[in-house]
Every structure is written in structure tokens, then in C-alpha cells.
Amino acid sequence: MKAGTVLSLAIIKNRKVIGAVSLNKIIKHHRAELGYWLAEEYWQQGIVSQAVKLIVAYGFKCLKLIRIYAYVMSPNKASMKVLKNNGFKKEGILKRHSVKDDRCSDLYVFAKVKR
């Protein structure tokens, strides 16, 4: 697997894609960035938490990663909860780093490191 490879998996319910989970910017035997999304009508059902759990386990076990990290915009408390529930720790805050809808917000950095 060459540096920068992406592993992206669809989340499917009733033959319909309702979201995705991915490991991006993969550096073999080292690290990858976690990404995910889910259609709003399926929020708060534990679907993303389960998908994150599975892809993180795959990253550590099969890809031999030692670090998986994610970025979350400060207003997105639900996404932070997904990460915390999967053992990710907040490592820092990039102040006023992101812009969405003409508004600046902080970007939180979370990571899970295999020991």
C-alpha cells in the first residue's frame, strides 16, 4: 500500500447507501486519518460508532497502523462523542482554523494510538 492510499467503505441499509467511513492518507505501518458521514435521518442510532469501531480495528490489526486521527469542527459535539466512545483522545485545538457558512470555528484534533 503506497502512502496516501484511501480505504473507503459504504454504510448500507436496505440496499441504500446511507453513509461512509474511511481511512485516508494511509501511511503503511504508521498512520491514517479517519473520516465518516451519515445521512441525517440515521443519526443517533449508533450506526457511525459501530462503523468507526470496525474500521479502526481493521486499521490497527490488518494495516498494522499505530495511529489513527480525526479532525472535528467545534460545533460538532455528536462527532466528538463518536470518537470518544471509540477510545480517541483529544490532542489539541486548531483555533479558528475552519470556515463553514462564512463562520470560523475551531478544529479539534483527536487520535487513537496503538500501544
DSSP string, 80-111: HHHHHHTT-EEEEEEEEEEEETTEEEEEEEEE
pLDDT band at 62 (very low <50, low <70, confident <90, very high): very high
pLDDT one-digit tens code per residue, 29-57: 999 999 999 999 999 999 999 999 999 99
**pLDDT-based confidence at 104, cuts 50/70/90?**
confident
Q: What is the pTM of this model?
A: 0.90
Mean pLDDT of 6-34: 96
pLDDT reading at 4 higher than 80: no
Assess if CATH 3.90.1150.170 describes domain 5-113. no
